[in-house]
Structure formats: C-alpha cells, structure tokens
Chains A and B, each alone.
Chain A
Amino acid sequence: MSNSNSTEIIRAGLKKRYAREKRFRLFGIASLMISFAFLLVLLFTIVSKGWPAFQQTYVKLDIELDESVLKVNSNSDEDALYSANYQKVVRASLNKMFPGVSGRKKKRDLRNIVSNSAAYTIRDDVLAEPKLLGTKQTYWFLAKDDIDVFMKGKIDRNLPEDERRLKDYQFEWIDKLIEEDRLEKRFNTVLFSNGDSREPEQAGMKGAIMGSLFTMLVTLMLSFPIAVAAAAYLEEFAPQNNKWVDIIEININNLAAVPSIVFGLLGLAVYINYFGVPRSTPLIGGLVLTLMTLPTIIIASRAAIKSVPPSIKEAAIGLGASRVQTLFQHTLPLAMPGILTGTIIGMAQALGETAPLLMIGMIAFVAEVPTGVLDPSTVMPVQIYLWSDSPERAFTERTSAAIMVLLGFLVAMNLIAIMLRKKFERRW
C-alpha cells in the first residue's frame, strides 16, 4: 500500500516538476537570445550610424580664376602660384551666387558652405595647368560637415531656430543650391584617401589603416618566429620536470591574462624611456603588441605541434634525421596550418587592441599618412577612439564607419583562419 502511496505523491508533484523543467530550459534559451540580442543591437547601431558616412556631399561651384583677384598669371613662377589666395575666388563665387549677404557671422556661414579644402583643390589644378588662370571652371567641392549632416537628414528643420546648427538663412541657401542641382551625394572616397584632419569632411582613415598595417607587419615579423621557436622548444626539446621550463610555462600562461594596459606601461618605461625607441611610431606599437600576442600564438602553436603524430617523427629519426632536422622538415610543415590559424587570430586581437597604444603616444594627432615604421602614426582602433572624442556631429558618423572598416578587416582575418583550418585540418 505504502508503495502506491509514494507513487501518488510523486505523480502529484510531477506537473510542478515538469513545469520547472520547462522554465529552466526557457531560461537557457532566453539567456542565449539576450546575448544574441546584445550582439544584434550592437552591430545594428554601428551599421545604421556608420552607413551614411560612406557618402559625402559635394557642392558644385562656378569658379572664375580671375588673375587680378589671385594676383598671379599663367607666367608666374611656381612659388607665386602656390601661395596665391585661392580662398578669394571661392568666396567671390559664393558671393556672386548669394548676393547681399552682410554681417560678419553670415559671411562666415556663407564661406562655410564649402570645405576649406576647396582652395587646395583649385591650387593643385592651377599648379598642374597654369593656363587655367583667367578661365571659368566648374568644380565639385567637398561640402562643409554641417551641410553634409543636413543632406543626410540628420538636422530637423522644424526645430526652433536656436536649437539647431543651421539657421533659417542657411536653409535658404541650401534650398537654392538643391534647386540648381548643385548639391550631390557621392561615395566617400575621402574616407579612404585622406589622413586625419580636424575638419570632419576632410578626415580620412588612410593614415590609420597604413599605421595599422605597419604595426601589424612589425608584430608579425617579431612574434611569429619567436612564438614558433618557443613553442617548438617547449614541445620537442624541453626536458621534463625542469625548473626553468616550468617557470617559462607559468609565465606564458600568466602573460596571457595580464591586462593589456600593463603592457603599455612596460612599453613606456622600458622601450621608450630606457632604450629610447621613438614614440608614436609603428615600431614601438609593434614591439608592445608582440609581447601581447606571443602567448596566444605560442599556445596555439604548441597545440598544433602536439597534434603531429609521433610516428612521423620517429620515422624521420629512424632514417637518420637529427631532431632539429625532424622538426624543420617534418613536424613544423605538418603543424603549419594550425600555427598559421593561431597567428592570424593573434594578429586579429592585436589589430583591435587600443589601450596599450595610448600609453606609448600613438594617440597623437597625425595628419600625414605614414610611409614607414619610423613615421609617427596612429592605428585604426586609436583613430576610432580619437574620433569618438570629437564633438562634431559628423565625426560620430565617421567613427561608426571606421568601426565598420575595422570590423571588416577582423571578419576577413577570422574567415581566412577558419578556411585555413577547414582546408588543412587533418585527423591522424
């Protein structure tokens, strides 16, 4: 009797227990979904904010290259042509289009329809072809960032006048320009062909991309050979139960967990202040990032070397190869896909790293595109940080676009790593 009684009790509790089971399972699904939702929101925010930055507004102006205004003619020497005030002809063209603008502020606002790079565009043209002087030319200039932001629909016309960046008279100008088909949005080549600038419309990330490239080059050239040699030593040559080897292993594991900013402190104190490596250069950035990526690559390489079956090594040794020959002619080539995968993943981490680079001066404003490892430069993540700190509305957009470019590089690198693994992965 008691038996069926306890069965009754269990049966009575079953419904509750199944409900609890269902709830628990739901919790699991929910937490996965929440994590995915975070990821989606993050990516959506970045993409929706950054998308417009791939377009840029241009203004069409008719420029009279008046020799009397510029005070040069086609026979002037290059220096005179270089230093002529081209801003004047741009201003004259705008004044002609919108006559009767008075007042200091309004005049400045009128001038600020086009970016100040307009003068340089004309200068370069005139320098290349001095015969242009005295003629009338039509140019598409970069529009100033406020106009650009408005053209992308980010400034609400219906707000009260003192709450928006553009005033009513500026809207009149813009409307007239639109009416005459003088405003156009095009693909933003500036973003990829210019270095950094204080003017949002002229700011590009070519300097940062090249800086990242040089930094990664230094990192790769240093960390790859060192990491592979270290991994091969630890896996193939290191004596068992040796104090020194134990210390090395503990150190590698610990370095993998040291906060990245501490590596920046090391770079500042040792590389810059002690050895005098020039700051702000890809060289010092690469040196610091090398120390950070070493543990990642070493750990991956060790796993790859370990997975090469001992039979292959034994066969080589049996045929008279030395241990070093076995390593270089058999083990390493067979382990290479795994090592490369680990290297690419380590490089991807290094590419996204920001904090240690702030310590070693890569945060400096650099307008020129670096051409070598000893030029001052910045890198992509630091450029993102710098832009995100700028108050102009147009920089927010460019920050998101820069993030998209950075993420693009990271996705590409990880895809390559995955493909490498898929293609060459062997089960022995």
Chain B
Amino acid sequence: MPTQTILITLIALLIFSYFIGHKRSIAVSSLDKGRRNLHSRPHYYGYMVAIWAGIPALLILMLWSAFNSSIITSLTVSGLPDTLQAESKDTLGLIINEVKNLAVSGQIAEETDAVKRDAAYNYQRLQSISTLAKTVVVFVAALLGMLFAWRLINPELRARNKVETVVRWGMIICASIAILTTVGIVFSVLFESIRFFESVPASDFLFGTKWSPQTSIRTDQVGSSGSFGAIPLFVGTLLISVIALVIAVPLGLMSAIYLSEYSSRRVRSFAKPTLEILAGIPTVVYGFFAALTVAPFLRDLGESIGLSVASESALAAGVVMGIMIIPFVSSLSDDVISAVPQAMRDGSYGMGATKSETIRQVVIPAALPGIVGGVLLAASRAIGETMIVVMAAGLSANLTVNPLEAVTTVTVQIVTLLTGDQEFDSPKTLAAFALGLGLFVITLLLNFVALQIIRKYREQYE
C-alpha cells in the first residue's frame, strides 16, 4: 500500500478505535453501579484507545518513510559487483541514480547492461518488500495498541489523566520544533560549509577578493579551480543595504515622528495601515518593479546628466529595497517614540520649547537606543533580502563602492549557485551553504544586538 492509503486507512482505524473505547467504557461501567462509577467521561476512554492505536503506528510509519530510501539504496549498492563498489563515490552515485530511474520507469527489460538490469530488479524487489513490510508492521502495531488499550479499560482507569499527559507532551514537542528548526538550520549550513572548507581554505573564502565560482568540467581547462573570495559579495551586500537604509531611515523615522507627534488621530488611523501595505507586498513584486521601472528610469536619468549608470546598478536595487523597509523602520520607531514618557515632553514644553525642539532635543535622544535597534533590525532584513537583488542586481562580482555600477550580493550568489543543474557535492553548490552560514551568522548577530538594545531601553522607562 502506498503511504497515502496507509494514512487514510489508519485514520479510519483511529475513528473506529475511539468508538470501541467509548463503548467499552460504558459496557464496563454498567456492570456495577452505572456510568457515575467511571473515573473519566466515556469519550476519554475512546481517546485513550485511539492514542494507543495511533501514536506507535504513526511513529513507525514516519521513521520508516524517513529512512526507507537510504537503507534501500545502501542495500542495492551492496548487491552490486565488488568492482563497481570500489568505484569513486561520484560514479557510484551516478550508477545508483540510473538504476533507480530504470526501476521507476518500468522498462528494465530494455536495459542492455546486465549489471544495471540486475540491480534495478533488485531495487524493485527491495522496494516492494519494504512497502509490504511497512504496511504489515504499521497495521499490526495499530491493532496491538488498540487491543492493549481496550483491555485496559475498567472504571478505575484514569483515562483523562493519561490523555491529558499525552496532550501536554504533544504541546511540548510542538513548542520544541522552534529549537529543532534552529538546530536544523545550523547543522545543515555548518556541515556543508565544513565540506566546502575542506576543498577551499577558509582564509581564501573570507579574505579573497575574487569571486568566480565557475569550475570547469575537464581538469585541464584554464581556470579550472574557480576562486571563492567572498569579499566582493559582502561589499556588494553592504553597499546595497547602505543605500536602502539611506532611503528608509530618514523617510521612516520622519513618518513615524509625524504620525506619533503631530498627526490627528484620523490621519494616523488611515496613514499607518497604508504605510504597512508597503510591508505586505511580496518581494518578487518589488524585484519586478526595480528591474522594469526603476533601473531603466535611473539609467535614463543618469544619461541625461552625463553619468553612465549600469542597467543593473546597485542604486536601483538599493532604492527599491529602501522603499520596502520604510514601514519596518517607521513602525519600530513609532513604538519607541510612543514609549517615551509624556512627562519628559511636558517638562520640555514647560521650559518654553517648541514641539520640534522638544522632539529633536528630548524625545529623539531619549528614544535613540530604540531607534538604533530598529535600524539594525531593518539592516538585517535588507542584508537577507533576496528577490529584489536577484531580479535587479547583477551577477558578476565587482569589488566597488560606486552605487552606479552593478554589484552582486550574497543572496544572489546563493540563488544562482543552487538553481542551476549541477552535482550537489561540487564546491560550487557547497559554496552556497558557506555563504548561507555567513548570512545566518551576520543576521543573527545583528538581531541579537538590536533586541538587546531595545530591551535595555524598554527597561529604562518601565
């Protein structure tokens, strides 16, 4: 049975086991003093039976599906002749892929290579054995669990407490998924990065100024090694992010000041959500806007005043990214500005200061740490932003700080390295994970510092 059918049958079985549990509890209770005698209400007995039937079976199903393919692959490999097994890892992987495709396509008999034909038959046989075994084991586990729980039922059984313990553990596991995700991210980028640094020294990656990840297919080709100096990427990322912040910080901050200090309630209730729309627009739309409208506009503008602007200039991507993070800056600044106690403003007004003087000399200095934190958060968002730069920034790594030239960024390179058709184990794809690690660490640090600053600042006024 395919996994989907197993799942559906299992769900039907769970519903059935709920009902027999429910029924059994009533039957057991009526033997002596009636339902009042039951420790828990009947449906808890039903849940309990369903849990016993479901959880072991589902666990088995999950583990089986997760490790099925790797175990079958290794079994198929061990079935190959020794001479083939001695081949390098890459060749072996290719052969296994061919064998799998053969088995899936169902045209094994047409294959001319006897070894591959045998392997494909072997693979098919293992696969069908595994599927059959999985079906049997899962259902036996479900039925055994059901039977066990069904026999447990008696009026003294504390079914509710048992069900609630399971529910609580389920909730703890759900909450812990956040940790699992972080661990998953760290390990996936870390392991692949370590493999990358085995072939490319870390110092070359961190301090190299030349980025051209094109590794050649034949070893005797010129420039076959490829160079993986990440400095131009990080400089490019920084350049675009700085442009974005130059646009977003003044606009966002001034908007926030106006909305929180000057505007009437009606204007605010209309303007704030409108500004938030900018944050809700998907980044791919911004990318399209940048590539199709802003970049040509800037190029024509540059031409008319005698500047040569690249058609994929850092400026276009940066400006559009700046627009995107305006609401980010403004809502964070709005929060911290509103958190400044009114007494401080009143004191300043009492001394005869005008509103703008109060804002500039009292409110902003008081809110500064929070604003800085907000700007750092916005910066981390800009650094990690992908679609705008993929669509509007260049591909060639250019070590420059001239905003009119085309630069490339970390995220652009990750996308280009991983969306082509190449072997997963080449340094080219592994480089993407090393870049991802860098990106993850940088944004994590920025966020950590920003949150720390904001938290400290909040405590000050609480």
What residues of A have a CB within 8 angstroms of the CB of B277 in the complex? 39
Contact A230 B171 (CB under 8 A): yes
Task: Contacts A230-B177, A251-B181, A359-B419 given; indicate if A31 touches B254 (C-beta within 8 A).
Answer: yes
Q: Is A151 among interface residues, defined by CB-CB distance under 8 A?
A: no
Whether the pair B178, A251 counts as a contact (CB closer than 8 A) is yes
* B174→A230 contact, CB < 8 A: yes
Min distance, Cβ A329 to any Cβ of chain B, angstroms: 12
A270 interfacial by beta-carbon distance below 8 Å: yes
A117 within 8 A of B: no
- The one of B164, B175, B415 in contact with A229, judged by C-beta atoms closer than 8 angstroms, is B175
Segment with Cβ contacts to B, from A54-62, A67-75, A158-166, A350-358: A350-358
Minimum Cβ distance to chain A for residue B46 (Å)? 15
Q: Are B289 and A45 in contact (CB under 8 A)?
A: yes
Asked if B178 and A25 make an inter-chain contact with CB atoms under 8 angstroms apart, the answer reads no
Distance between Cα atoms of A404 and B23 in the complex (Å): 55
Confirm or deny: B242 has a beta carbon within 8 angstroms of a beta carbon on chain A: no
Given A35-B251, A276-B70; A261-B415 close (CB under 8 Å): yes
The reply to whether the CB of B167 lies closer than 8 angstroms to some CB of chain A is yes
**Distance in Å from the Cβ of B360 to the closest Cβ of chain A?**
8
Classify the interface of chain A: helix, strand, loop or mixed.
helix
- B165-208 CB contact bits vs A (8 Å, 1 = yes)? 00110111011111101101101110110000000000000000
- Determine if B281 is an interface residue (Cβ-Cβ < 8 Å): yes
How many of B's residues come within 8 Å of A, CB to CB?
Answer: 92
* The stretch of B113-121, B149-157, B227-235, B379-387 that contacts the partner chain: B379-387
Q: Which of A15-23, A80-88, A199-207, A306-314 contacts B (4 or more CB under 8 A)?
A: A15-23
Q: List 13 A-B contacts (CB under 8 A).
A: A20-B356, A28-B262, A30-B254, A36-B275, A38-B326, A269-B188, A276-B70, A291-B181, A352-B282, A354-B284, A388-B291, A388-B391, A403-B285
Given the interface pairs A35-B255, A265-B432, the reply to whether A254 lies near B419 with Cβ below 8 Å is: no
Decide: B164 and A322 in contact? CB cutoff 8 A.
yes
Q: Mark A261-293, 1 if CB is under 8 A from B, else 0.
A: 111111011100101100000000000000100
Q: How far is the CA of A400 from the CA of B287 in the complex (A)?
A: 12
| Max chain A Cβ within 10 angstroms of own Cβ: one of B66, B192, B418 | B418
Q: Which of A17, A226, A229, A322 contacts B354 (CB 8 A)?
A: A17
Q: Which of A35, A49, A225 contacts B278 (CB 8 A)?
A: A35
Choose, from A106-114, A180-188, A231-239, the stretch at the interface.
A231-239
Chain B residues contacting A21 (CB-CB under 8 Å) are 354-357
B458 to chain A, nearest CB (A): 14
Residue A294, interface by CB 8 Å: yes
Stretch of B14-22, B398-406, B439-447 lying at the A interface:
B439-447
| B30 contact set on A, CB distance < 8 A | none
Cross-chain contact B285 with A384 (CB below 8 angstroms): yes
A residues in contact (CB < 8 Å) with B: 10, 17-18, 20-21, 24-25, 27-32, 34-36, 38-39, 41-42, 45-46, 49, 225-227, 229-230, 232-234, 237-238, 247-248, 251-255, 257-266, 268-270, 273, 275-276, 291, 294-295, 298, 322-324, 348, 351-355, 358-359, 363, 381-382, 384-385, 388, 396, 399-400, 403, 406-407, 410, 414
Q: Which residues from chain B contact A46 at a C-beta distance below 8 Å?
A: 285, 288-289
Give the secondary structure class of B's interface: helix
* Chain B residue nearest in CB terms to A373: B4
List, in ascending order, chain B residues with CB within 8 A of A261's CB.
Answer: 384, 386, 411, 414-415, 436, 439
A residues in contact with B355, CB < 8 Å = 21, 24-25
Instruction: Decide yes or no: A257 and B377 within 8 Å by CB, A248-B175, A262-B189 being known contacts.
Output: yes
B136 within 8 A of A: no
Contacting pair A355 B411 (CB below 8 A): yes
On chain B, the residues within 8 Å of A45 by CB distance are 289, 292-293
* Cα(A229)–Cα(B415), bound, Å: 34
Contact, CB under 8 Å: A355 / B188: no
A-side contacts of B415, CB under 8 Å: 261, 355, 358-359
| B132, CB-defined interface residue at 8 Å | no
Count A-B pairs with CB separation below 8 Å: 251
Instruction: Determine whether B310 belongs to the interface, using a CB cutoff of 8 Å to chain A.
Output: no
In contact, A237 and B189 (Cβ under 8 angstroms): no
Residues of B within 8 A of A251 (CB): 178-179, 181-182
Which chain B residues border A352 with CB–CB below 8 Å? Answer: 280-285
A194: min CB distance to chain B, Å: 21
CB distance from B70 to the nearest CB of A (A): 7
Q: Does B271 contact A (CB under 8 A)?
A: yes
A233 touches B172 (CB 8 A): yes
The answer on a CB contact under 8 Å between A229 and B282 is no
User: Which chain A residues lie closer than 8 Å to B384 at the CB level?
Assistant: 258-262
Considering the chains assembled together, what is the distance between the CA atoms of A32 and B385 in angstroms? Answer: 24
If A384-B285, A406-B282 touch, whether A266 touches B254 (CB-CB below 8 Å) is no
- CA A253 to CA B326, docked complex, whole Å: 21
Q: From residue A229, how far is it (CB to closest CB) to chain B in Å?
A: 4
Do A35 and B178 touch across chains, with their CB atoms under 8 A apart? no
A388 and B292 form a contact (CB under 8 A): yes
Q: Most chain-B CB neighbours within 10 Å: which of A20, A227, A384, A406?
A: A384
B277 to chain A, nearest CB (A): 6
Going nearest first, the 4 A-B pairs with the smallest beta carbon separation are A259-B384, A28-B258, A352-B282, A269-B188
| Cβ contact of A269, chosen from B278, B291, B433, cutoff 8 A | B433
Question: Given the known A-B contacts A21-B356, A261-B384, A261-B415, are A38 and B278 also in contact in the complex, defined by CB atoms under 8 Å?
Answer: yes
Least distance between B279 CB and chain A CB atoms (Å): 10
* Least CB separation from B278: chain A residue: A39
User: Smallest CB–CB gap between A32 and chain B, Å?
Assistant: 5
* Bound CA span A298–B291, Å: 35
| From B175, B191, B258, B327, contact of A233 by CB (8 A) | B175
A403 CB to closest chain B CB, in angstroms? 5
Which A residues are in CB contact (< 8 Å) with B250? 31
Looking at the assembled complex, report how far the CB atom of B460 sits from the nearest CB atom of chain A, in whole angstroms: 20
- Taking a contact as CB atoms under 8 Å apart, the answer to whether A258 and B185 are in contact is yes
Task: Name the residue of chain B whose CB is nearest to the CB of A276.
Answer: B69
Check if B245 is an interface residue, CB within 8 A of chain A. no
Instruction: Choose from B167, B175, B189, B258 the contact partner of A29 (Cβ within 8 Å).
Output: B258
Question: Which chain B residues lie closer than 8 Å to A268 at the CB level?
Answer: 188, 418
Report the nearest A residue to B69, measured CB to CB: A276
Contact with A along B360-388 (1 / 0, CB 8 A): 10000000000000000100110111110
B451 within 8 A of A: yes
A27 closest partner in B (C-beta): B254
A206 to chain B, nearest CB (A): 19
Known contacts A39-B277, A324-B164; A257 and B443 CB within 8 A of each other: yes
Q: Which of A31, A266, A351 contacts B185 (CB 8 A)?
A: A266
Known: A17-B354, A261-B384, A407-B281. A266 touches B288 (CB 8 A): no
Min distance, Cβ B287 to any Cβ of chain A, angstroms? 7
Question: Given the known A-B contacts A259-B385, A262-B185, are A31 and B255 also in contact in the complex, defined by CB atoms under 8 Å?
Answer: yes
A254 touching B447, Cβ below 8 Å? yes
Partner of B284, one of A29, A322, A381: A381
A287 to chain B, nearest CB (A): 11
Nearest neighbor of B177 in chain A, beta-carbon distance: A226
The reply to whether A294 and B177 contact each other, CB–CB distance below 8 Å, is yes
Cβ-based interface call for B60 (8 A)? no
Contacts of B179 on A, CB cut-off 8 Å?
A: 247-248, 251
Produce 1/0 per residue, B239-267, CB < 8 A to A.
00000000000111111011101100000
Q: A322 CA to B432 CA in the complex, in Å?
A: 51
| Distance of A199 Cα from B66 Cα, bound (Å) | 40
Interface centre among B175, B252, B261, B323 (most CB of A within 10 A): B175
